[in-house]
Structure 1
Amino acid sequence: MSSSNLNLSNQRILVIDDLVDSRSIMKRMLTELGAERIDTAVDGDQAIMMINDTDYDLVLSDYNLGRGKDGQQVLEEARYTKRLRARSIFIMVTGENASDMVMGALEYEPDSYITKPITLKSLSQRLGRIMQGRRIMASMHQLMDAGKTQEAIAEAERLIASQPRMMALVSRGLGPLYIHQEEYNNAIRVYSMVLNQHFHSWARLGQAICMHKLGDSLSALALLKETLRRQPRHVQCYDWMARIYLSLGDQVYAQKLLVKAVEISPRAVLRQRELGQLALQNQEWQVAASAFEQAVRLGRHSCYKSIDAYLNYADAALPLIESDKVTYKRLGDKVQRVLTDLQQDFSQSIALKYAGVLAQARICHAMGLLERGLLRLNAAEHLFREMEVPDADDALSLTSTMIQCGEHVRAEDLLRTVKGMTLSAAQQARVEQQANTLNEAAIRQHSDQVNAEGVSLYEQGEYIRAMKAFDEAADYSEAGVSVLLNAIQVRVSLIHYGPCSQDQRRQLLFQCRPLFQRIGVVGNTDERFERFQRLKNNFTRLLQEPAS
């Protein structure tokens, strides 16, 4: 197609590239093709500002733009803010051929994807094909930009009837319009017309979405599986299969599908967040932590940047660190750095900064950094007091962390304040759960104190008084194995070292039985195993020995 047929003279064009030579080359080629109004941007942030200020007809963006937003993030934000009109053209330009970059860029549906080096001829041909379709669909796009969806649908149907050869191009825009209007049967009809002429994975995907919306999820799954058989890397099919399986109650398989989608296209922030949320629900902490780590990294320069990704990263990491603080020390360090970034990135909001500091307190405590964790907890409480109107959820998050860090008295004081707030049913349930936890903690603490008194008396040879103390500690259902072993130990010692009558001996042995039953089995890797076995052997021998 000749440059005269392109008609670029009246087009407002933006070229985005961080390299001055590349910008100059692209600008020169566009000028040779007849363009007269060409703006340039040197990075993604400048490009977004210019797109927000100007209605561009054509945007050509390099994928790699140095520090800050990349070309994919420019495109996703332009789509998110609806600053790219329906009739606008966005072309991604790159020298990269890495599959994750290509897939990430294509997911946001640029009008074309051009790989460097670009020649004048190839650029002219590519622009010619795109602009020819744009001219045919101009009236439809104008109606879409004006928000006149029904009129745009009618114009699209007229175009298909009058120019059947343009069916696939027009239908790719018409199908989503019908779906937006919840006219799913009409959307299926349009996609079926396309598929009757030629297989297009996007049309089959559209059919599947409509079938699911109409309640026939099993047929939708069959269509998606067929599409993946033909196009194994059509990543949106995995997304929709995951959503459908989730709606059917199969969270585990839905997660597996999202993992596959992330393997194909790992640079989509929303997908990483969706995988992380699902893995959290499934308590797949490692998968969740990895997904949220990527969501944080990819979201730094994205319009989809969210504090939830930061906090969920900490929530996913916490059980791993608690299970093995040595193995997951590096993870804990990374989470702490991310939470520090959160406080800087969202420094204007006390509530968001509070959430980050509170998460740090939990992570530090789990890592065994008790002093640092307490300092973070104190800082979080200070921020909480600074909030103008702290809500119950903020307070309950603080009390929960206080309980985790062993600050039971502070938690109980704050919980009394929370009880005076207007609470939802869910918040009331959290209050009751935390109150029960505090009661159990107080009981355990008292049991431990009484047990310690018993140990001191035992060491002084005060066996009768020690037994009373151990029995008081053992009376609590929360008493641990060590307390129960102490209660057995003092009885064995009384029998050995007396004074102890025959009846007392028989009674003491009888009292040991339920204590052993409460202990149950002690594994050979338990540090208390040898003591347990020794006491059990002594008990068995005493049963067999005749009373003296």
Structure 2
Amino acid sequence: MNPANSPLFSARAARAGGDDDAAAGLQRAYANQGMEIDYGSKRFLVIDAVQEMRSAMNATLSSFGVTKIEYAHRATEAIGVIKRGNHDVILCDYDLGNGYDGLHLLEELKLRNLIKPSAIFMVVTGERRARMVISAAELAPDDYLLKPFTGEELKQRLDRIYGKKMAFEDLDAAMLNEDYFKALAECNERIAAKDPFLLDFLKLKGKIALTIGDHGMARDTYQTVLNARDVPWAKMGLAKALFHLKDYSTARQMFEALLAENNRVMEAYDWLAKIHQAEHEHVEAQGMLQRAVELSAANVSRQKKLGEVAMRNGDFDTAVKSFQQTINVAKFSFWRDAGDYSSLAKAHLGKGDVMEAAKVAADVRREFRYDQKAEMLATVVETQVAIKQGNESRAQQLLNKAKQQFAGVANEVPDNYALELAEACYRLGEDAAGGEIVQKVLRNHHEDAAVLERVSNLYSAVDRADLGQAMIEETARAIVGINNEAVRMAQSGDIQGAVQKFIQAVEEMPANVQVMLNAVNAMLAYVTRNGWHQEYMETAQLYLDKVKSLEPASVKYLKLRDAYNTARRRFRT
């Protein structure tokens, strides 16, 4: 039997395709009918801008015993309420005003880890077109409900979702702990057993595969779904997998097909822009992102990306507009970042609007007055303004101040802030200082494509593209050399020497994920051969914790974490 032929698979597919009546019937037939939920003990949050709708929802919820209800009328208020509470169910209107919707709110809540895995997040909407956007979204809610609806209809949906939440309880814990291998194993078991929630397990398996970078597995998983049913999220997932596998042509066709079906599947625009960039079609990438922001202007990452692409294309008017919108949308959110102000200032300077750029520096000092890193960045912006004005003496004074500020926070400064300082150094002829900053960034991120692109753009901006490429290649060779030397030491029997070599490398490159993982690998090899070593195992744990904070989905990290836990059990039982 094709796994996609399970009854609940059909129910999910029916809902995704818009056949709500068929879906509801199938779900009722296969829901956990024996489960009685005590809704009087559950904490509800209703998010809706309209007072009358909040009042109506109160009556609807009361009809099936809900007594603990809180309310919010906008996203920022909702986040504050959620921080204070421990809500079991969040009912959120799709349209939250100013271009911000329930999916944007859900994304922020997930990224900030503000809602527990067992919480239900349901979107309520009066727009039938919204359901296709919701069904294709990357961070989809647990369900959505079209207005108007009765208390019985809402209760039936909640009953079904609670059944699913219980089925996914073990997986929720694994996902929360970022134990992706355990989650994958559980998914595979449930899929093989033709679980009633089969489609959900296939969807989660595809998501995990994309997260850990196993794009072949993701492709095969989503293709399994599509072989049986035409569901938008599976098309989206398959297209993403094909992009990562560099099958840009097929991926492009799939994203375009999604937009042909529904032009508000916003992720498709973002991925089409990525394809254009991968194929060096930067003007086309900008056009695709502009189409997207015209439909949905309240997405921070999309506005920021549009600004970056526009800067690359020399379209400073669009860059100014996009970075300003980025700041406006992010101002009271998780995405608030002084780096966006710096980007706005550079766009103003690109237009020759020095006074506006100077105002941006003042804005940074006001908006981030207690942030030393932002203070340093504001000084860099002022340096750039002075350079544009031709006031070299003031520019040099400001650069000296920025370097002093940088010295106090060098290990905490985001890479993009550091690279802005490096560019200012190069523009004032301080090549050694600029090169030292760039090299530190490169040594910590020698395999990070985004960082390498930023470095290349920096050197192109100061007309030193050849030097930038040489630094990138030299840094990569140096790190490979360290690794090769340590491997030779280990192969010759000097595992302890290899461990010390890697520890020294980590001290020099404290944020380099690959170097830390190589060090852990060497320490585990030492323990396997020579027995327990307390200091090495403590250091390995420290490095693994650091990598988890930087790249929790790294397959190498996940394997080494399992190997570390195995070693602990072996020697400490």
- What is the TM-score when the length of structure 1 is the normalising length? 0.60
Counterpart CA distance in 2 for 1:207 and 1:157 is: 18
Partner of 1:424: 436
Could you give the per-residue CA deviations for residues 178-202 of structure 1, whole angstroms, max 9, x where no partner exists? 2223333332232122212221121
Structure-to-structure mapping, 1:439-478, within 5 angstroms: none
Q: Could you tell me which of 298, 305, 322 is aligned with 1:267?
A: 298
For 2:431 and 2:172, how far apart are their aligned partners in 1? 56
Residues 135 and 232, structure 2, Cα contact 8 Å, conserved in 1 = no
Answer 1 or 2: higher relative contact order, Cα 8 Å, separation at least 6: 2
Paired AA for residue 286 in structure 1: D
Q: Which of 198, 209, 222 is the matching residue for 2:229?
A: 198
Please, which of 360, 377, 382 is the counterpart of residue 355 of structure 1?
A: 377
Whole-angstrom CA distance in 1 between matches of 2:166 and 2:252: 37
Instruction: Note if 1:145 corresponds to 2:176.
Output: yes
Three-state SS of the structure 1 residue aligned to 2:121 is: strand
CA contact (8 A) 1:104 1:268 kept: no
Asked if 1:182 is matched to 2:213, the reply is yes
Is residue 346 from structure 1 mapped to residue 377 from structure 2 by the alignment? no
Q: Which residue of 2 aligns with 1:389?
A: 407
Measure, in 2, the Cα distance between the counterparts of 1:66 and 1:320. 32
The alpha carbon displacement at 1:342 in A equals: 2.1
- What CA distance in whole angstroms lies between the structure 2 residues aligned with 1:111 and 1:228? 23
Structure 1 residue 207 displacement after superposition:
1.0
Tell me what 2:114 maps to: 83
Judged with a 3 Å threshold, the aligned counterparts in structure 2 of structure 1 residues 138 and 27 are, in CA distance, closer, same or farther, namely farther
Cα drift, residue 251 of structure 1: 2.2
Alignment of 1:269-348 (within 5 A): 269-321=300-352, 333=356, 337-348=359-370
Alignment match, 2:270: 239
Alignment partner of 1:291: what SS? helix
The corresponding residue for 1:473 is none
Q: After superposition, where does 1:26-175 map in structure 2 within 5 Å?
A: 26-40=57-71, 44-45=75-76, 47-52=78-83, 54-62=85-93, 74-93=105-124, 108-113=139-144, 119-163=150-194, 166-175=197-206
Matches of 2:34 and 2:364, distance apart in 1: 50
CA drift at 1:350: 4.1
1:212-231 correspondence to structure 2 within 5 Å: 212-231=243-262
Moved more, 13-22 or 229-238: 13-22
User: TM-score, length-normalised on structure 2?
Assistant: 0.58
Structure 1 residues 65 and 338, CA, compared in 2 at 3 Å: closer, same or farther?
farther
**Which stretch has the larger CA shift, 355-364 or 150-159?**
355-364
CA distance in 2, matches of 1:257, 1:374: 40
Q: What is the total number of aligned residue pairs between the two structures? A: 409
Larger radius of gyration: 1
How far, CA to CA, are the matches of 1:95 and 1:376 in structure 2? 58
Q: List aligned pairs for 1:402-441, cutoff 5 A.
A: 418=430, 421=433, 423-424=435-436
* Superposition CA RMSD, Å: 4.7
Letter in 1 for 2:117: A
- Structure 2 segments unaligned to the other structure (5+ residues): 1-27, 411-417, 441-454, 465-573
| Cα distance change on mapping 1:228 and 1:16 into 2, 3 Å | closer
Are the counterparts in 2 of residues 16 and 47 from structure 1 also a CA contact under 8 Å? yes
SS in 2 for 1:85: coil
Alpha-carbon separation, structure 2, partners of 1:263 and 1:281: 20
Q: Distance in 2 between matches of 1:224 and 1:358?
A: 40
- TM-superposed CA distance for 1:164, in Å, is 6.4
**DSSP 3-state at the match of 2:39:** coil
| Matched residue SS, 2:288 | helix
Q: 1:380/1:127 Cα in 2 relative to 1: closer, same or farther (>3 Å)?
A: farther
Secondary structure in 1 matching 2:44? strand
Name the SS for the 1:315 alignment partner: helix
Residue type at the aligned position of 1:389: A
Give the distance between the partners of 2:200 and 2:143, measured in 1 at CA.
13
- Matching residue's letter, 1:81: R
CA deviations 1:360-412 (Å, max 9, x no partner) are: 5756997x8x9xx9999699569548737277967666667xx8xxxxxxx6x
User: For residues 161 and 60 of structure 1, what CA distance do their matches in structure 2 show?
Assistant: 34
1:98/1:339 CA distance change after superposition, 3 Å: farther
Larger mean CA deviation between 161-170 and 264-273 belongs to 161-170
| 1:309-368, Cα deviation, whole Å (9 max, x unpaired) | 11111111222236xx9xxxxxx65x55544332211111344234335535756997x8
Q: Per the alignment, do residues 388 and 295 of structure 1 end up closer, same or farther by CA in structure 2, a change over 3 Å counting?
A: closer
Identity of aligned residues (%): 25
Contact 1:15 1:61 in 2 (8 A): yes
State the alpha-carbon separation in 1 of the partners of residues 407 and 371 from structure 2: 13
Distance 1:133 1:375 in 2: 66
User: 1:224 is paired with a residue of what secondary structure?
Assistant: helix
Distance 2:437 2:399 in 1: 25
Q: Secondary structure at the match of 1:232?
A: coil
